[in-house]
Amino acid sequence: MYCISKLELNRNDPCQCGSGLKYKHCCLKTHQERKRWEGLENNLRESITDYWQEFHENDLYNAINIYGKIIDKNTEVTECRLFFDWFIHDYILNNISS
Ligand SMILES: [Zn+2]
């Protein structure tokens, strides 16, 4: 989860971005939009992970080795995101035809 969405600001509080505006007139809409996409993004990451675990498990473990940190169910969300964004976009498969 993005740290920004952890801020449970009241609508009438001064916005945390420092604009001097009330939250409801400033970043509230952006944060709501971010929250809306966050669920979709997480679902997509989960689907991609399920796919890799089912069909390319060795590549997934190899990638985790290269990454050099333990990635499992207990890993912090931000760390998981870093790993999976790297894995999805930049990891090169050992054997693309398998
Ligand atoms: Zn703001």
Cα separation, 18 vs 35, in Å, equals 21
Residues flanking ion ligand 1, Cβ below 5 Å: 15, 17, 19, 26-27
The verdict on residue 8 lying in a domain is no
In angstroms, what is the span from residue 72 Cα to ligand 1's centroid? 35
Structural domain including 37 reads 14-90
Instruction: Please report, in tens digits, the pLDDT of each residue of the chain (98 residues total).
Output: 344 444 567 899 999 899 999 999 999 999 889 888 888 888 888 888 888 888 888 888 899 999 998 888 788 888 888 898 898 889 887 765 54
Cα separation, 87 vs 47, in Å, equals 14
Cα separation, 48 vs 2, in Å, equals 20
In angstroms, what is the span from residue 71 Cα to ligand 1's centroid? 34
The verdict on residue 83 lying in a domain is yes
In angstroms, what is the span from residue 29 Cα to ligand 1's centroid? 9
The verdict on residue 44 lying in a domain is yes
The verdict on residue 2 lying in a domain is no
- ∠ CA 15-17-23, rounded to 5°: 20
The verdict on residue 80 lying in a domain is yes
Say what the pLDDT of residue 13 is: 92
Say what the pLDDT of residue 96 is: 57
Count of domains observed in the chain: 1
